Amino acid sequence: MRISKYGIILSTLKEEDIELVRIKRNSDMIKSTMHFQEAISPEMQKAWFENIKSAIYKNESPSFYFIINYENEKIGLINGKNIDLNAQSSEGGFFIWESKYWGTLVPVMTSIITLDYTFLLNDFKENYIKVLKSNTNAIFYNKQLGYEAIEKYSEDNQSQYYVLTKENYLKNSGKFRKSIGGITNDFEPLSLSDLDFNDTGDEELIKVLPLLKEFQKQQVLKILKLNNRIIFFD
């Protein structure tokens, strides 16, 4: 799947991307903000990617990872994981490895796109993040979005969980949307017309569609219809 808005394209992580992600993830500047700070080997990266694919096809709490593309350049990675369709909750995280975009509207636009997808298109109730207590920039930024610290078990005492409810997101997102609109002239929230499956083949879609909940399946079919694309499956 691809999501295109504000000049940003979020494209599904592919196997050809994982070595780039590994190299960037292993850099000192990125690694220092992560919970797991050991060097990641090519073998570890490959196993991680295979686990992501396997969980999707087995419908076992799937995780979705997207490359962040901007100005025809791959600049970062964003994810949604620990998805609980019954509780309508998920956990998110992202990093941008191109330092020229730190402190710009690009991270903000990326956040708004994915949170619109979470709360507006999927109608989830809560989104969780886990942040190192030492990462004060990330803590400040996420609090501006409406995330609040919560008491939740963490396997280490270096991290803090935060939760963003749909109510708090709707309350806080307007100021960001206004700033983004002032630059892009796009003040509208994310819609199904901003999504496509041009990076996903028919065979893969046919495998995944029967595993989806009914509302997810209908959403995918609506997107495909908007893209003038027809998929036949049992």
pLDDT tens digits for range 46-56: 999 999 888 76
Sequence-distant (≥ 6) Cβ neighbours of residue 32 within 8 angstroms: none
* Per-residue model confidence (pLDDT) at position 55: 76
pLDDT at 82 over 80: yes
* Per-residue model confidence (pLDDT) at position 14: 95
Could you tell me if 148 and 231 lie in one domain?
A: no
Region 168-190: what's the mean pLDDT? Answer: 97
Distance CA 195, CA 160 (A): 32
Whether pTM exceeds 0.75: yes
Max CA separation in the chain (angstroms):
50
How much is the mean pLDDT over the chain?
A: 91
Alpha carbon separation from 96 to 33, 155, 202 (Å, rounded): 11, 25, 30
Could you tell me if 185 and 210 lie in one domain?
A: no
* Per-residue model confidence (pLDDT) at position 189: 97
Tokens 């960037």 — which residue?
A: 24
Could you tell me if 100 and 17 lie in one domain?
A: yes
Could you tell me if 49 and 151 lie in one domain?
A: yes
pLDDT, one tens digit per residue, over 183-230 is: 999 999 999 999 998 888 888 787 777 757 687 788 888 888 888 888
Distance CA 234, CA 88 (A): 27
Could you tell me if 137 and 226 lie in one domain?
A: no
Q: Could you tell me the two tokens for 187?
A: 């003040």
Region 39-67: what's the mean pLDDT? Answer: 87
* Per-residue model confidence (pLDDT) at position 200: 84
Could you tell me if 172 and 225 lie in one domain?
A: no
* Per-residue model confidence (pLDDT) at position 60: 63
Region 94-112: what's the mean pLDDT? Answer: 97
Could you tell me if 88 and 159 lie in one domain?
A: yes
pLDDT over 90 percentage in the chain: 71
Enclosing domain of residue 205: 201-234
Q: Which helix (H) or strand (E) holds 216?
A: helix 214-226
- Give residue 123's pLDDT band: very low, low, confident or very high (50, 70, 90): very high
Amino acid making up residue 192? L
* Per-residue model confidence (pLDDT) at position 6: 98
- Give residue 66's pLDDT band: very low, low, confident or very high (50, 70, 90): very high
pLDDT at 75 over 70: yes
Q: Which helix (H) or strand (E) holds 42?
A: helix 42-58
Domains: count for the chain: 2
Could you tell me if 163 and 95 lie in one domain?
A: yes
Among candidates 68, 195, 50, 185, which has minimal Cα distance to 122?
A: 195
Distance CA 42, CA 234 (A): 37
Could you tell me if 179 and 217 lie in one domain?
A: no
Distance CA 73, CA 64 (A): 20
Could you tell me if 146 and 228 lie in one domain?
A: no
Could you tell me if 57 and 102 lie in one domain?
A: yes
Alpha carbon separation from 233 to 192, 194, 207 (Å, rounded): 21, 24, 9
pLDDT at 59 over 70: no
pLDDT over 70 percentage in the chain: 93
Among 67-81, 106-120, 177-191, 204-218, which stretch is predicted with the lowest mean pLDDT?
204-218
CATH number at residue 106: 3.40.630.30
Burial of 52 (0-12, 13-18, 19+ CB in 10 A): middle
**Which one has a higher pLDDT value, 44 or 221?**
44
Could you tell me if 190 and 210 lie in one domain?
A: no
pLDDT at 176 over 80: yes
Yes or no: say if 104 and 7 are a contact pair by the CB < 8 Å rule.
Answer: no
